[in-house]
Amino acid sequence: MQRINIEIKARSENPEAIHELLTQQLAEFLGTDNQTDTYFKTTKGRLKLREGNIENALIHYYRSDKAGPKRSDVTMYKTVNSAELKEVLRSALEVIAVVTKRRSIYFIDNVKFHVDEVQELGNFVEIEAIDKDGSIGEEKLHEQCQYYLNLFRIREEDLIEVSYSDMVLGAH
């Protein structure tokens, strides 16, 4: 399934405040997921296998490395037995990074929120305004991201340009 996201990632000094704001906004809480993302070397974009107790998927995406709201073109395949798929991928492709995180997942309409505690990196919040079928449009997705950036009082210096995999690679 291909879709367009406008998304942001930012450091979060106070994840409890984000949880509280999402509760006040009547966000749907899907739960807390312990996830492992295994990133594979590709010639185009990024490819990761997500394994969790809530979300499991093979995800390929293109996204520019810039701070603030940015477009991400995503193709996702929900997996059932990711252990077997991981074995196939590892036999064919080089693993470049593994990211382990504890992720709280929320939704408000088409906007998905992640409050993440990433092993070795710290606390983060992600906002993803999602257009699954082209009916919302990029301008509206940007507006949604900006609204929640303002609501969460995310400072420009807290915005992250790169993926967690890039951050993990930079830490080693």
What is the tens place of the pLDDT at every residue in 34-60? 999 999 999 999 999 999 999 999 999
Contacts of 96 (CB under 8 A, 6+ apart): 39, 40, 41, 165, 169
Query: Any idea what DSSP says for residue 161?
Result: -
- Is 31:54 a contact under the CB 8 Å cutoff? yes
> What pLDDT, on a 0 to 100 scale, did the predictor assign at position 70?
82
> What pLDDT, on a 0 to 100 scale, did the predictor assign at position 83?
87
Stretches in the chain below the pLDDT threshold 70 = 1-2, 172
> What pLDDT, on a 0 to 100 scale, did the predictor assign at position 170?
83
Name beta bridge partners: 28.
Answer: 107
Strand pairing class (95-108; 2-11): unpaired
What is the pTM assigned to this prediction? Answer: 0.90
Q: Which residue ranges form the domains of the chain, and what is each CATH number?
A: 2-171 (2.40.320.10)
> What pLDDT, on a 0 to 100 scale, did the predictor assign at position 81?
75
Query: What is the amino acid identity at position 124?
Result: F
